[in-house]
Amino acid sequence: MTEERNVYSIVTPQIEQLAQLCHKSDIIDSELYTRFDVKRGLRDLNGKGVLTGLTHISKITATKEVNGQTLPEDGELYYRGINVKELIKGSTTENRFAFEEVAYLLLFGQLPNKKELEEFKEALFFYRSLPTGFVRDIIMKAPSKDMMNTLSRSVLTLYSYDDNPDDTSLPNVLRQCMSLIALFPELAIYGYQAYNHYHEGNSLFIHPPRTDLSTAENILYLLRPDSQYTELEAKILDICLILHMEHGGGNNSSFTTHLLSSSLTDTYSVMAAAIGSLKGPRHGGANIKVVRMFEDMENSLSDWTDDDQVREYLEKLLAGEAFDKAGLIYGVGHAVYSKSDPRAQIFKRFVEQMAHEKGYDKEYALYDKVATLAPQIIAEKRRMYKGVSVNVDFYSGFVYKMLGLPMELYTPIFAMARIVGWSAHRMEELANNGKIIRPAYKAIGPDMPYVPMNKRI
């Protein structure tokens, strides 16, 4: 059955014509950015971010100073001063789920002891309960095809169920943040189940959350029709969540969190805005592009093991002649990292393990080949101010594919993790009671006289 088209969604010839006026009046000569020393994207010509704040929460390193020169080095990521590699190593060596433990670290600045962790988990899991009727009245009504929009709408609606939604005191904001950390998996997964039922015609599964499961286990329990999962699947998803939890205050969605928090708006509005930022394909939506790019590559190549065929395809990608014609090799390159993304390095070992268990050895070998060839080809074809390497998105979509997760939930899973980082940054902004963030824009248009209506052409 063909869905009736919404007439209000049609871009009419009139709208097209008016949009051309917008473009004509809004376009800015790129030379002016250089003349006025405007750092587009808040980055200088060498790609270094403009310093706009200070943070305790996390640190990214990608360069070192040698004899007054800044040189690239392997990237490192620290959560509250602790290398994320050590956090992952500790949890895997001691064979435990660590999402909640690392959340405690990011929120409160120190690793919890056993008693503190159990008390925090008990408090966090207490909030795994949506208001009565919320699933029926909010999530099931008008289900969206985009789960990030569903998540954002649900978060904004929770404002109405909060007795103190506008209280920005730290205890109240912490309560709200812990509630959202606990509820994000339900909001996103229930939204997907509604979409999968009402739009795709599949059976509807709504499992109540369990308070005895880790966050990673709970996600798989809620999503799968039979609620079954292996320990390896849950452990690797736990690692995915930890690696996506936080990445400095300067990433787009965390900066959005600081920006809105500085205005003293409510927590629900802040998190909805952060979700909107993360949704973009230049930010959290990149792993979907990686998976689709590889699917196109696999369909285009007659022999995945042939270096020449893979190289030719990658060259076509850069030339804008393959896949989406955007001229990009998705999952390769990062705004900060050059020689390596530590999250991708950590991921690789676990990805290989899961690929072998799930029978994806051939696909993993192709990913490994592209990880080697793509940086070489980009260096040959593009003028670069720094090196490039595969980033975390290069592997995360492949992991989700092997876990059998629907593509509609790839970016929401990122949000399920990053809500912890957003919460930490919101608390930090409010704790320091700083000024409202208000950068400057230079007006460059000429002054114009007012023209009476009867004299306008």
Kindly list the catalytic residues.
334, 393
Size of the chain, expressed as the number of residues it contains:
457
- Residue 133 per-residue DSSP state: T
Inter-axis angle of helices 252-261 and 267-279, nearest 10: 160
Q: In what order do the strands lie in the sheet with 58-66?
A: 58-66, 69-79, 82-83
Rounded Cα distance between 96 and 366, Å, is 31
Using the structure block, give the residue that is written with the tokens 């929009």.
Answer: 149
338: which residues sit within 8 A by CB, 6+ positions away?
62, 63, 72, 75, 386, 387, 388, 389
Hey, which residues does 59 pair with through a beta bridge? Answer: 78
The tokens of 297 are what?
């590559």
Rounded Cα distance between 365 and 376, Å, is 17
* Main-chain phi, psi angles of 338, to 5 degrees: -125, -70
In what helix (H) or strand (E) does residue 76 lie, and over which residues does it extend? Answer: strand 69-79
Rounded Cα distance between 6 and 69, Å, is 58
Using the structure block, give the residue that is written with the tokens 């990149």.
Answer: 286
Rounded Cα distance between 428 and 425, Å, is 5
The tokens of 127 are what?
């909030």
* Main-chain phi, psi angles of 8, to 5 degrees: -80, -5
Half-sphere exposure of 265 (CA within 13 A, CB side): 17
372: which residues sit within 8 A by CB, 6+ positions away?
none
Rounded Cα distance between 256 and 76, Å, is 23
First to last CA, the chain: 49
